[in-house]
Amino acid sequence: MKLILALALLLFATAVQAQELDRRPDAPKTNDLTVPVAAYPLVQKLLYLNTVIPDGMVWVPRGELWHAEELNSCAWCAKPMTFKQAVFDKKASAMFLVATGLMITDVELGQACIKTHRCKEGNPFLGTGSRSMQYSIRVSGIVVAWMDTAWALMGNKRLQVGGLKLWYILPLVMHAEAAIGIASGIRH
């Protein structure tokens, strides 16, 4: 009797643990039991809207072919989303709000320094350094960078093509640029 109880406990423990395992990569993307279980090709020459891909995977271009890769396993394997979702992504929005705040601080510290004739604008793209010119160029630069970042982040949700995981590089460059301007404005 003890042997049967021990075997039942062992069987129960292994069955519970097996339920927590990830799905097979070749498992169908649907819960419809009428769909036959078949191994899907993980390499395609062309993608169509009805091209099937296993759950937890995205299509990634590699030369002339599209390869199915696991989510977050490569640089272009982020979760695909729509453009609106990418623009209003919490992390991206926070990064660009910080960039906007740093830009405003940089412009105002620079204007105080320029008015006292202790310094001049070091960025050749900003011209003479007037406040209106700086705001118009910098705000449009932030908007363009935000849209570029959203485009790289989104991928293609309809075709399950992954987005760029390293989208945060452009906002960090903008943070560094504004931090250098702030440090220069504080120093003078």
- Kindly list the domain boundaries of the chain, sorted by start residue: 2-70, 83-187
Average pLDDT over residues 130-141: 88
CA distance 105 to 111: 10
DSSP string over the chain: -HHHHHHHHHHHHHHHHHHTSPPPTTS-SS--TTS---PPPSEESS--TT----TTEEEEEETTEEEEEETTSSTT-BPP--HHHHHT-HHHHHHHHHHHHHHHHHHHHHHHHHHTTS-----GGGTT--HHHHHHHHHHHHHHHHHHHHHHHH-BTTTTB-B-TTTTHHHHHHHHHHHHHHHHHHH-
Among 34-43, 114-123, 129-138, whose mean pLDDT is lowest? Answer: 34-43
User: For 92-123, how does the pLDDT look when each residue is reduced to its tens digit (9 = 90+)?
Assistant: 899 999 999 999 998 888 888 888 888 777 77
Q: Please give the residue that has the higher pLDDT: either 20 or 63.
A: 63
- Would you say 93 and 166 are in contact if contact means Cβ atoms under 8 Å apart? no
Please report the pLDDT score of residue 39 as a whole number: 53
Q: What is the pLDDT of residue 158?
A: 77
Confidence of residue 19 (pLDDT cuts 50, 70, 90): very low
pLDDT tens-digit profile of 148-183? 999 988 888 777 788 888 888 899 999 998 898 888
pTM of the predicted protein model: 0.66
Between CA 172 and CA 102 the distance in angstroms is 11
* pLDDT band for position 10 (cuts 50, 70, 90): low
Identify the weakest region by mean pLDDT among 16-20, 69-73, 147-151: 16-20
More confidently predicted of 139 and 52: 139
pLDDT of residue 131: 84
Average pLDDT, the chain: 78
> What is the per-residue pLDDT for 134?
87
